[in-house]
Amino acid sequence: MKNLQPRDAWIWLQAYPDSLFVDVRMEIEPLYVGRPPGVVNLPWYEYPDLQPDAQKFAATVAREAGGKSQPVPLLICRSGKRGRVFRCAACGARLRRRTGRAVSALRAGALAGWRFDGLPWEQM
């Protein structure tokens, strides 16, 4: 798994617009704080359990990527890690092990990341 800087991910997405760009935050989060345009929300975990199901997640991403010409999904979350339960990097590593696809991850946060770098953002 490779951790990309937001501007590098933006350049990748411009070069390969069919790439799968996945927001792994819970469904409610993009509704409150927004998201990059074109991102697909596939939560790593959700309420009420707050427990990831790596196999289900990998299957969902593989199904979503089925028609995509690029094999590298980009994953984005708020901070790149969330305490003991969630880590975008861990999520990507599990996805890579289960699907055999390379994965790249980046962060969305306002202090550093996608929004901080002034990249396109939409509010729901």
Residue 32 lies in a domain: yes
Percent of the chain with pLDDT over 70: 65
Rounded to whole angstroms, the Cα distance separating 112 from 67 reads 32
Rounded to whole angstroms, the Cα distance separating 88 from 3 reads 10
Residue 9 lies in a domain: yes
Rounded to whole angstroms, the Cα distance separating 20 from 75 reads 9
Strands 104-107 and 2-3: parallel
Residue 12 lies in a domain: yes
Q: What is the pLDDT of residues 11-65, one digit of tens each?
A: 888 988 888 888 888 999 888 889 999 899 999 888 888 888 888 888 888 888 8
Between residues 98 and 64, which one has the greater pLDDT?
64
Residue 122 lies in a domain: no
How many domains does the chain fold into? Answer: 1
pTM recorded for the entire structure: 0.77
Query: What does the pLDDT read at residue 85?
Result: 31
Residue 121 lies in a domain: no
What residue numbers bound the domain in which 52 lies? 2-107
Neighbours of 103 (CB within 10 A): 24
